[in-house]
Amino acid sequence: MASFGHALFRMDRQMRSLRTNAALAAVVAAAATATLLAPGTSGADTATAPVAAADPNVRAVCEDRRPGPAAPGSYGMQLDGTFRHPALTPVDEESEHPFPGRNAEYDTRSYIKNMKVEAAYEGSEFTPDYFHTWQNIVDFDGRRYLFQYDRSAGRVYDITDVKNVKVVEKLGRDDVDGDETRANGDWDAHDYWGASTIQWNKKLNAYVMVQSFESKRQIEELSDHPPHDKYNNPDGVRKLREKPGLKGFKVYRLDGPRKKDWKLLATVSTDATQKNPLASDPASAQQGSGSIDVPYWTGEKYMFIAAAPDDTYSGTEYPTNLHSAGYQSWDMSDPARPKLLDTWHLPGQRTGEDAAYRANPRCGNRTSWMGARMPLFLPKPVEQGGRYAFAAMGGYGLTVLDVSDPSDMKTVSHLDLPPSVSGTEGDNIDVSQYEKTGMIYYSGYPLTEDCYEPYKDVYQIDAKDPENPRIVGVLPRPTPPKSSGITDYCQRRGSFGPKRTGYYTNPGQHTPGVLGYGFYNAGVQFFDVSDPADPEISAYFVPKAYGPETAEYAYGNQTHGVYVEWDRNIAWTLTNHGIYALSSRKVLGKPDLDAPAKPFRNSEF
- C-alpha distances out from residue 421 to 132, 167, 339, 444, 445, Å: 21, 40, 38, 11, 11
> pLDDT value at position 596?
95
Say if residues 590 and 569 touch (Cβ distance below 8 Å): yes
Closest CA relative to residue 297, chosen from 204, 202, 382, 408:
382
How far apart CA 535 and CA 526 sit, in angstroms, is: 11
> pLDDT value at position 6?
34
- C-alpha distances out from residue 265 to 137, 334, 567, Å: 20, 10, 30
pLDDT in tens, 183-220: 999 999 999 999 999 999 999 999 999 999 998 877 89
CA angle at 456 for the pair 450 and 459, rounded to the nearest 5°: 160
Closest CA relative to residue 70, chosen from 91, 53, 56, 54:
91
So where are the chain's domains? 194-385
Which H or E run includes 28? helix 18-36
- DSSP sequence for 368-405: --BS-SS--B-SS-GGGT--EEEEE-BTT-EEEEE-SS
pTM greater than 0.85 (yes/no): yes
How far apart CA 250 and CA 472 sit, in angstroms, is: 40
Q: Which residues of 504-540 are buried (b: 16+ CB within 10 A; e: fewer)?
A: bbbbbebbebbbbbbbbbbbbbbbbbbebeebebbbb
**Phi, psi for 465 (deg, rounded to 5):** -100, 100
Sign of CA pseudo-dihedral 394, 147, 199, 290: positive
3-state secondary structure of 331: strand
Say if residues 64 and 50 touch (Cβ distance below 8 Å): yes
Say if residues 564 and 570 touch (Cβ distance below 8 Å): yes
| 197 CB-side CA count, 13 A | 25
Residue 483 CB-density burial (10 A; 0-12 exposed, 13-18 middle, 19+ buried): exposed
Confidence label for 54 from pLDDT (cuts 50, 70 and 90):
confident
pLDDT in tens, 531-550: 999 999 999 999 999 999 99
3-state secondary structure of 115: coil
pLDDT in tens, 165-178: 999 999 999 999 99
Confidence label for 93 from pLDDT (cuts 50, 70 and 90):
confident
> pLDDT value at position 39?
35
Please report, rounded to a whole number, the percentage of residues in the chain having pLDDT higher than 90: 89
Say if residues 454 and 423 touch (Cβ distance below 8 Å): yes
Residue 39 CB-density burial (10 A; 0-12 exposed, 13-18 middle, 19+ buried): exposed
- C-alpha distances out from residue 596 to 412, 541, 547, Å: 40, 24, 31
pLDDT above 70 (res 31): no
How far apart CA 61 and CA 43 sit, in angstroms, is: 19
Please report, rounded to a whole number, the percentage of residues in the chain having pLDDT higher than 70: 91
Beta strands per DSSP E along 194-310: 196-201, 206-213, 248-254, 262-269, 290-297, 302-308
> pLDDT value at position 218?
78
> pLDDT value at position 509?
95
How far apart CA 345 and CA 371 sit, in angstroms, is: 9
Say if residues 370 and 317 touch (Cβ distance below 8 Å): yes
pLDDT in tens, 257-309: 999 999 999 999 999 999 999 999 999 999 999 999 999 999 999 999 999 99
> pLDDT value at position 180?
92
Q: Which residues of 142-157 are buried (b: 16+ CB within 10 A; e: fewer)?
A: ebbbbbbbbbbbbbbb
> pLDDT value at position 94?
84
